[in-house]
């Protein structure tokens, strides 16, 4: 017998493999009390390469959503004990689902009833019976738009890095993963030194370029699996996965030296100049949850500033 397999680890492995090779399949949740109709919609969407989950009991919808994280919800209007409109209202009350597309699919042909249903936060109304290609194209365009919207919602526009909110979410996810896999991670907070002086001396546009140069350096020097976010104006945060304190220290300290070496310049001419940053690190385990670990990294960053800047503190 071989060792028992840790399913969580296996799923993570599979996750990272497929996400690098294939574009992810659209994930569609189908809520309809008729099993035969629901399975017809599911097969139709699967034939277009989508991943589907069918729920025929409306009261089980929320559980299904939290496990499946759909990118579109196809909702029947009339179901025993619960209307599609009530479900739409419940979906919109969940913070993580405020922008998830909801499409009603119902035999209701009365325009007023349709409009009324739309007011519960739905994005479209399709009528039964529906042609397979019509269903596929309606779902495809909605999910594509949702994906585009999501990229704008989670990315910072100057650097293309993850924004503050998304970075914090990712820290939570990675701590849970590390707990499950009994692995380590390091959270790093980076803050550019005397950045006000850069802006005051060379102008805001040059300041922006300095921010971008650090963003590029982090992307080049860190691993593909590390999570890099723009945490604030001239502040960055990094989650280094499967990394212990000493390795993270070495990595960040090398980046620190490389950043200091970059010849920064100003559009208005003059001599090149150099900019530095300070960095604070905290390790998991050691600190056991996201607030604690980010607090510890913040404290370490403060120590780095107090100790004279241009340094990494653990
Ligand atoms: P310290 O070494 O203590 O961090 O000094 P500092 O001057 O960097 O201190 P502080 O964090 O108070 O100042 C950050 C400045 O960064 C303030 C703000 O004007 C500037 N800033 C914030 N966001 C941006 C941005 O997107 N672009 C530019 N050019 N400047 C920004
Ligand atoms: Mg029905
Ligand atoms: Mg700052
Ligand atoms: Mg600063």
Q: For ligand 1, what atom is nearest to the CA of residue 235?
A: 11
Q: What size, in residues, is the chain?
A: 314
Distance 194 CA to ligand 4 centre (A): 5
Question: Taking CB atoms and a 6 Å cutoff, what residues make up the pocket around ligand 1?
Answer: 191-196, 199, 204, 207-208, 211, 233-234, 305, 309
Structure tokens at 105: 């699919």
Pair of tokens at residue 303? 């120590």
Nearest-CA residue for ligand 1 atom 22 is 233
The low-confidence residues of the chain, meaning pLDDT below 70, are 1-22
Decide the pairing of beta strands 102-106 and 72-75: parallel
Instruction: Out of 158, 211, 231, 233, give the residue to mutate to test ligand 1, the one with the largest number of ligand atoms within 8 Å of its CB.
Output: 233
Q: Give pTM, 2 decimals.
A: 0.73
Q: Note the ligand closest to the C-alpha atom of 196.
A: 1
pLDDT at 11: 57
Q: What is the pLDDT of residue 23?
A: 77
Residues with CB under 5 A from ligand 4 (ion): 191-192, 195
Q: What is the pLDDT of residue 240?
A: 98
Q: Say how far apart CA 120 and CA 104 lie, in whole Å.
A: 11
Q: How far away, in angstroms, is 221 Cα from ligand 3 center?
A: 22
The predicted structure's pLDDT at residue 170? 93
Provide the pLDDT for residue 12.
58
* Catalytic residue list: 234
DSSP string, 60-81: GHHHHHHHH--SEEEE-SEETT
CA of 12 to the centre of ligand 4 (A): 36
129 CA to middle of ligand 2, Å?
12
For 92-124, the pLDDT digits (tens) are 998 888 899 999 999 999 999 999 999 999 999
DSSP string, 244-265: -HHHHHHHHHHHHHHHHHS-B-
Q: What pLDDT score does 276 carry? A: 98
């Amino acid at each position: 017998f071989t060792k028992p397999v840790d399913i969580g680890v296996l799923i993570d492995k599979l996750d990272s493999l497929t996400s690098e090779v294939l574009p992810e399949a659209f994930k569609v949740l189908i809520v309809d009390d008729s099993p035969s109709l629901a399975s017809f919609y599911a097969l139709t969407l699967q034939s277009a390469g989508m991943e589907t989950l069918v729920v025929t009991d409306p009261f089980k919808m929320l559980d299904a959503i939290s496990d499946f994280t759909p990118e579109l919800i196809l909702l029947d209007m009339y179901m025993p004990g619960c209307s599609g409109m009530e479900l739409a209202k419940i979906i919109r009350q969940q913070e993580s689902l405020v922008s998830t597309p909801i499409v009603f699919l119902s035999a209701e042909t009365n325009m007023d009833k349709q409009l009324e249903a739309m007011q519960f936060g739905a994005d479209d109304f399709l009528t039964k019976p529906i042609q397979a290609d019509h269903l596929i194209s309606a779902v495809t365009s909605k999910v594509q738009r949702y994906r585009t919207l999501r990229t704008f919602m989670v990315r910072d526009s100057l650097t293309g890095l993850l924004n503050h909110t998304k970075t914090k979410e990712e820290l939570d996810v990675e701590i849970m993963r590390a707990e499950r896999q009994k692995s380590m991670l390091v959270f790093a907070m980076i803050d550019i030194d005397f950045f006000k002086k850069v802006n005051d001396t060379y102008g805001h546009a040059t300041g922006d370029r300095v921010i971008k140069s650090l963003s590029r350096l982090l992307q080049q020097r860190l691993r593909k699996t590390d999570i890099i976010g723009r945490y604030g104006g001239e502040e960055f945060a990094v989650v280094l996965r499967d990394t212990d304190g000493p390795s993270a220290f070495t990595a960040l300290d090398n980046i620190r030296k490389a950043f200091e070496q970059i010849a920064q310049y100003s559009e208005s001419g003059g001599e090149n100049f150099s900019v530095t940053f300070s960095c604070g690190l905290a390790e998991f385990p050691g600190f056991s949850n996201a607030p604690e670990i980010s607090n510890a990294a913040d404290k370490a960053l403060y120590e780095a500033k107090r100790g004279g800047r241009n340094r990494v503190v653990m």
